Amino acid sequence: MQGLLDIQKKLLPDLLDVMVKRYRILHYIKLMQPIGRRSLSTNLQLSERVLRGEVTFLKEQGLVHFATSGMSVTEEGEQLFSQLEDVMKELLGLRHLEMSLSQQLGVKQVLVVAGDSDEDSWVKREMGRACIGELKARLRPKDVVAVMGGTTLAAVAEMMTPDTQTREVVFVPARGGLGEQVENQANTISAEFASRAKAQYRLLHVPDQLSEEAYTSLVLEPSVQDILKLIKSASTVIHGIGDAQMMAERRDSSGSFIDKLKREEAVAEAFGYYFNRAGQPIHKQRTIGLQLDDLGEHKYVISVAGGRSKAEAIAAYMKYRPSDVLITDEAAARSLLRVPGNE
């Protein structure tokens, strides 16, 4: 496959450029459908005149459907998109990025999607689509899936679709989250996963940050113990990786704590742990839910994080605990390969 692509690049470079452009248009319509032409033009940074010609071509090929609500991808378009994905990964250099990152980070499997989620919100949805594909390939009836909170995981949940194997699955929050914005809480996201999958869910109604006295009291509650037992039985865990400073500020942490993070050069946060560049935990929040020590060999761990700004955070966390799968975007992947210690 790569040999044929190399030949085409030399003999028919314009043909490949056109194919990449039409693939990106089809890709964006698929993620954001139904979508209007003006919105599509703005997001793809193509003039309306150029875009009009391209979407007309796709419509004539039976790949795109026009309606008053906007454009959407037809069934034939969906099939063609699936067939093109592997070819485009080679053509865009994403396959090489996946292999390089897998080797350098010590992660069994890396999936890289095109784009930069710092710049374009649709890239988070594409990471979400990749995550759902990976999750569904492993799901078995009655599996328990634990999910963390955050904006990236919220985008992942939006890409969930019902399937025969999801109906008996139970989605649970991996930790408490009261106090954060509702849409980013693990409770909200696990419920969204379940709703879209036509599956079941359980909630954990406890704050994200606790005093020692409150923690001791809550973990003795029978209802909390029951849900904790279910959470810790999860066969799959899906989580994001946060920028340490940003996460501390989002949780309304004290100024002295934020100063400590800066002083100790914290760059990453995951599971309530803050990590420095060497991947060493420098602080652990007292939380109820999954702890890093709970991620044993019997749990399949999927990390989802992207954007150029997250490269240092991803690198730091993976030094502490490489996941089974890392799903990221092109901008983060290219930056990761330039992060000191990853070359």
pLDDT tens digits along 231-270? 999 999 999 999 999 888 887 778 888 899 999 999 999 9
Question: In this predicted model, what pLDDT tens digit does every residue of 125-171 receive, in sequence order?
Answer: 999 999 999 999 999 989 999 999 999 999 999 999 998 888 899 99
169 to each of 140, 159, 191, 306, how far by Cα in Å?
A: 7, 16, 12, 27
**pTM of the predicted model, to two decimals?**
0.83
The predicted pLDDT at position 183 comes to 73
Residue 12 has pLDDT above 60, yes or no: no
Measured CA to CA, the distance from residue 96 to residue 61 in angstroms comes to 31
Contact 282, 275 (CB under 8 A): yes
Least trusted range by pLDDT, from 172-186, 254-268, 269-283, 328-342: 172-186
Question: In this predicted model, what pLDDT tens digit does every residue of 174-191 receive, in sequence order?
Answer: 987 655 567 788 999 999
CA contacts within 13 A on the Cβ side of 267: 19
Residue 11 has pLDDT above 60, yes or no: no
Residue 83 makes CB contacts below 8 A (sequence gap 6+) with none
Band of pLDDT at residue 3, cut at 50, 70 and 90: low
DSSP letter (8 states) at residue 126: H
Measured CA to CA, the distance from residue 216 to residue 207 in angstroms comes to 13
